[in-house]
Amino acid sequence: MEGDSMKRQVWTGATAFVVGAISGPFALSSARSSQPGLDWNTIAFVFIGTLIGTIFVIGLQILRTESKHGHHALRFFLAVSLFVLGSGIGALAFAVYGGQIDPASIFFGAAGIGLVIGVLLSRVAHGLRFK
């Protein structure tokens, strides 16, 4: 049973990443149309904000008495973070292909990396809390 759950998680994560990568050009278009426009300082703010926000939201679930709440939050956020990271990589690849590297092309990648790191740090906290 444990093996089936792990396989399902891997397939869910891989599917989320691939669908995110396919949506990369649309994410790039969305980021480029933002008002006010994105600048390089925004990238650092987005990375740090998603990192702290992810740890905060999952951390609230980890603080609950039962471990299942934190576990479910980790599984959900892992899929979301892989989708956003895939979208960021797809947007960056599309921007590189078009020869236009700008803050918008890195925006979703920064958010995805912040989310993934936040999920990994939260996973460590969950393991320490419920060992």
Interval 38-79: pLDDT, tens: 899 999 999 999 999 999 999 999 999 999 999 999 999 999
Q: What's the whole-model pTM score?
A: 0.89
Q: What is the mean pLDDT of residues 5-27?
A: 89
User: Confidence class of residue 126 from pLDDT cuts 50, 70 and 90?
Assistant: very high
User: Confidence class of residue 107 from pLDDT cuts 50, 70 and 90?
Assistant: very high
User: Confidence class of residue 87 from pLDDT cuts 50, 70 and 90?
Assistant: very high
CA angle 24, 89, 57 (to 5 degrees): 90
Other C-beta atoms closer than 10 Å to the C-beta of 53 total 13
